[in-house]
Amino acid sequence: MTELPARRLLLVHAHPDDESINNGATMARYRAEGARVTLVTCTLGERGEVIPPELRHLTGPALGAYRLRELTAAMAALGVDDFRQLGGAGRYSDSGMMGLPDNDDPDCFWQADLDEAAAHLVEVILEVRPQVVVTYDPDGGYGHPDHIQAHRVTTRAVELAAAAGWEVPKVYWNRAPRTVVEAAFARLERELPELPFDAAARVDDLPGVVGDELVTTEIDGTAHARDKAAAMGAHATQLKLTGAYFALSNALAQPLFTTEYYQLVRGERAPGGRESDLFAGLATEGTR
């Protein structure tokens, strides 16, 4: 078997753009440091709302294909060359927002058989053998069915992979500490009159906002701020980026964070205060 890099990070996300918003700086940092970074995206976001008027004709599979091209450009900006779609491109379709008839589509990710979907991810885990896996909390950060399902599938896949021979040492959920988010929104409110946005989102509109005490790990990605911004900018159907701020299809401004935060939910936390490295406390050596 080919020798694997010493540090291996796997991220599981629901749609193209989630990875750049949540983890773009983290991904760029670890790639720059020589780690293997693998992204698995569970759907192509075929039901996403398109922002640019000239692209609003894109719907369904055509939108999914376009968003895959956006994802490819975003990964190039972050230096990530290992990105995949769960079960292959188009295997699971976007489920739409919670409570919509889209949730009942038998081909959507929300309706996927848990063990079947997890088996696709197990294949990746056994190939990559990551020491660190990152995904969402049980609510998917904000209640989107595909995010919730990504959490469930990842959790189940980690269990199945352990039984099949690879125990993932550390699993993290994406988080955002409330005090940091509140301070960023206070700055946004002061600067909003000079920005091309009519209004700002609310603190609680952001996925994964929790009390500071739940955050175990913060990754300083400020050296890769341009990379994250470029990756987010590649997802032009889904967000509008202006400097240190962006808006989704709701047109409400929110901050772009270049320090990214996590909660360790599986594995041993490194001694001391917050970890500054997802691999903290691990003996990271190449493996065959």
Q: Is 146 annotated as a binding residue?
A: no
Task: Confirm whether residue 147 is marked as ligand binding.
Answer: yes
**CATH code given to domain 8-266:** 3.40.50.10320
Determine the pLDDT at residue 288: 40
Q: Would you give the distance in Å from CA 129 to the centre of its chain?
A: 19
**Helical H runs in 57-210?**
60-78, 114-128, 145-164, 178-191
- Average of per-residue pLDDT values in the chain: 96
What is the rounded CA–CA span in Å between residue 87 and residue 2? Answer: 23
Provide the pLDDT confidence category of residue 1 given band limits of 50, 70 and 90.
low
Task: Band the pLDDT of 58: cuts 50, 70, 90.
Answer: very high
Model confidence at 270, in pLDDT bands (50, 70, 90)?
Answer: confident
> Is 235 labelled a binding residue?
no
Q: Quick one: pLDDT band at residue 176, thresholds 50, 70, 90?
A: very high
Q: How far apart are CA 20 and CA 240, in angstroms?
A: 13
Mean local confidence (pLDDT), 165-193:
98
pLDDT tens, residue by residue, 221-257: 999 999 999 999 999 999 999 999 999 999 999 999 9
